[in-house]
Amino acid sequence: MKFSWRVLVLWTLPALVIGFFFWQGAFANAPADMGKNAANTRMTYGRFLEYLDADRVTSVDLYEGGRTAIVEAIDPDIENRIQRWRVDLPISAPELISKLKEKAISFDAHPMRNDGAIWGLLGNLVFPILLITGLFFLFRRSSNLPGGPGQAMSFGKSKARFQMEAKTGVKFDDVAGIEEAKEELQEVVTFLKQPERFTAVGARIPKGVLLVGPPGTGKTLLAKAIAGEAGVPFFSISGSEFVEMFVGVGASRVRDLFKKAKDNAPCIIFIDEIDAVGRQRGAGIGGGNDEREQTLNQLLTEMDGFEGNTGIIIIAATNRPDVLDSALLRPGRFDRQVTVDAPDIKGRLEILSVHARNKKLDASVSLDAIARRTPGFTGADLANLLNEAAILTARRRKEAITLREIDDAVDRVVAGMEGTPLVDSKSKRLIAYHEIGHALVGTLLKDHDPVQKVTLIPRGQAQGLTWFTPNEEQGLISRSQLKARITGALGGRAAEEVVFGAAEVTTGAGGDLQQLSGMARQMVTRFGMSDLGPLSLESQQGEVFLGRDWTTRSEYSEAIASRIDAQVRAIVEECYEHAKKIMRENRTVTDRIVDLLIEKETIDGEEFRQIVAEYTDVPEKIQYVPQL
C-alpha cells in the first residue's frame, strides 16, 4: 500500500482535536485558581470537623458551590506547621458556615467557572463537524471522477473538450496519402480564415462535413489538421458521450454544445464516431422514443432548424455510413461527404515518408519497396509497421532499421506473431506440400498474383503461409483473375490429394475453402459471371441492421437458389480439377522445392520462380514487386 501524508494528516488531526476536547472536558469543572490553591493531600469531612473543633483550622476557601473546600490547618504530626488539604463537603451541611463564623475562621466562597458548559457544547459538536468535513472531502474527490456524484447537477452539460485556439500539433503537411480529402477540407479552412472570398460570389459556408472511411485511414487525424490549420475555437466530442441512461440528457448536451459554439463562432465541432448517436430512427425492436433518438432529433434541429447556427462547422467521422439516418445526410446538414479510403501506392509512399522522419533507417531500406509490398494498408497500419520494425531493431540491439526488420514487421502485421518452427516430421512435410501447392499453382497461372514468400514458420493460427502480393492497384478484377484466385486457393488441397491420396487430406484447407466459396458465390450472385446471366441476385451489404434488414425478403425464388448453388459448385469443381492437373504435371519440381523448403523453412518469390523455370515455362506476368 502506498504511503500518503494526506491520509496520515486526515486521520491524525481529528484524533488530536478529539483528544484536546476530552482533556478540556475532564478539567472543565476544575476549581478556579486551582494552580495556586491546589492541595497536595485530601482530608475527610469528619477529620475536618475534628480539626475545626480543636481550633486548628485557620482559613477555608469554598469552591463549586460549597461542594469542595481548600482548608489551611495546623498539622500536629509535622511540628504544628500549616498544611493545605482538599475536602469534599457533603451537599447538606448548613451548619458548617455557622460553625466557621462561630470560630471566627476566615473563609471565602469562590464562584463556579462558566467555561465548562462552553467546552461541553464544543465537545458535543466535534463529531458532527468531523463527519460533515469528511463527507465534504469525499464528495469533492468523487466529483472529479467520470459520473461521480459531484456531477449530478451538471450531467446535462456538454462534455466536449474545448480549445480556444486548437493546438493539436497536426497540420495538413502531417497528413499524407489522402490528397483528395485534404483538398476538400482545405476549402473549409479557407472558409473559416477568409470567408469574404466565398461570400463575395454568393457562396455560403458548408454546415457539415462527414468523413467516411475504414478504420485507420486518418479521419480523426484530418479533423485535428483542420483545427490546427484554421486556428479557430475547436470543440471535440465522441458520439457516445451524448447518450446516457437518463432520457433527455443527450438532447440537453447537444443544446449546451451548440450554445457554447454559437458564443465562440466561427468555430469547429468535431464529433467522432457519430454512428453511436446518428443511427436510423425507428430501427429498434423496442420502439423509437428512446434516449438516442431524442438526442438525434435535437442534433438535426440544431444543424438545420428554425434557429440558424451560422459560423459553426460540424465535422463528423464514421466507418458505418450505411446505418446513419437519412435526415442527417441530406444537404443542409452534412453538405459534403468526404471518402477517406485506404491510400494507393503513391499515398503509402507519402505516409511512410511522414512516419519515417523520426526513425533511423539503414541506407539499404527503400520506402518505395515497402509501399509496393503493402497494398491495402491504411495509414495506421503503416505507422504500426514502422513502429514494429523499430521495436525489433531495438530488441536485436541494432543502430538502424534494416531490410530484415522491415520484412519481419510486415509478416508480423499481416499474419501475426512468429511461432516455434516445426521439427522435421510427417506433419511438417505435409504442410510443406500444402504451401508449395498454393505457390506453384499461383506461379503457373497467368492471371494470378505473383508469389512473395513461402514459409513453414508458424504465425498466428497458421502452421505455414504463402504470400501473394498484387503488383499493381486493382480497382476492377476480371473473371479470369477471380478463377485464378480460386484455383490458387485450392492448390494446397490439390497437392495434399495428389501426393498423399484422398484419404490423407487434412483440415488445413478449411480457411481456403471458406474464402473461395465466398468468391465463387459473388461471381454468380453479384457479378453475373455464370450461366445464370448478368443478374445481381444479392445486394452488397454488411451486417444485418436490426429493425431494417431483419425482415428483408429473399431476392430470388427457391428454384433460382438451387441453380445458384449448382453454379457455385461447378465453378469450384472446375478450378479444383485444374489445380490437381497442375500438381500432377509438375510433381518433380514440387518434390524438389518441398525438400528445399523443409531445409530452409523460407523461400522468397524470386528464388521460387527461378527453380520452377528450370522445369517448366513460367508465364510472363506484369513487372513483379521489388524485394525488400
Residue 534 class from Cβ within 10 Å (0-12 exposed, 13-18 middle, 19+ buried)?
Answer: exposed
Calpha distance 437→499 (Å, rounded)? 10
Tell which residue, 494, 474, 475, has the closest CA to residue 572. Answer: 494
Indicate the pairing of strand 234-238 with strand 41-43.
unpaired
Identify which of 599, 232, 576 has the alpha carbon closest to the alpha carbon of residue 432: 599
Q: How far, in Å, CA of 209 to CA of 152, rounded?
A: 34
User: How far from the centroid of its chain's Cα atoms is residue 524's Cα?
Assistant: 41
Please identify which residue in the block is written with the cell numbers 463527507.
135
Q: In terms of DSSP bridges, do strands 208-212 and 161-163 run parallel, antiparallel, or are they unpaired?
A: unpaired
Report d(CA 370, CA 408) in Å as an integer.
12
Pairing of strands 161-163, 312-318: unpaired
| Phi, psi angles (nearest 5°) of residue 406 | -65, -45
Cα–Cα distances (Å) from 489 to 432, 465, 513, 604, in that order, read 15, 12, 7, 19
8-state DSSP, 620:
P
Considering the candidates 291, 435, 496, 497, report the single residue annotated as catalytic: 435
Tell me whether strands 68-75 and 602-604 are parallel, antiparallel or unpaired.
Answer: unpaired
Whether 481 and 575 have beta carbons less than 8 Å apart is answered as no
* Structure-block grid coordinates of residue 68: 469542595
Angle at 415 between CA 413 and CA 419, to 5 degrees: 110
Among residues 619, 599, 603, the alpha carbon closest in space to that of 453 is found at 603
Task: Tell me if residue 293 is catalytic.
Answer: no
Distance CA 366, CA 150 (A): 56
Look at strands 451-455 and 336-339 and give their pairing: unpaired
DSSP assignment letter at 161: E
Question: What cell was used for 143?
Answer: 466529483
Q: Phi/psi of residue 34, each to 5°?
A: -65, -25
Q: Nearest to residue 51, comparing CAs of 80, 90, 94? A: 80
Which three-class secondary structure state does DSSP give residue 162? strand
Q: Please, are residues 380 and 215 in contact by the beta-carbon 8 Å criterion?
A: yes
Residues 263 and 310: their CA atoms lie apart, in Å, by 11
Query: Which strand (E) or helix (H) includes residue 469?
Result: none
Instruction: Quote the cell numbers at residue 284.
Output: 429498434
Distance CA 120, CA 125 (A): 9
Are 158 and 253 contacting, i.e. CB atoms less than 8 angstroms apart?
A: yes
For residue 106, how many other CB atoms are within 10 A of its CB?
11
Asked if residue 483 lies in contact with residue 575, where contact means CB atoms within 8 angstroms, the answer is yes
Catalytic residues, which ones? 435
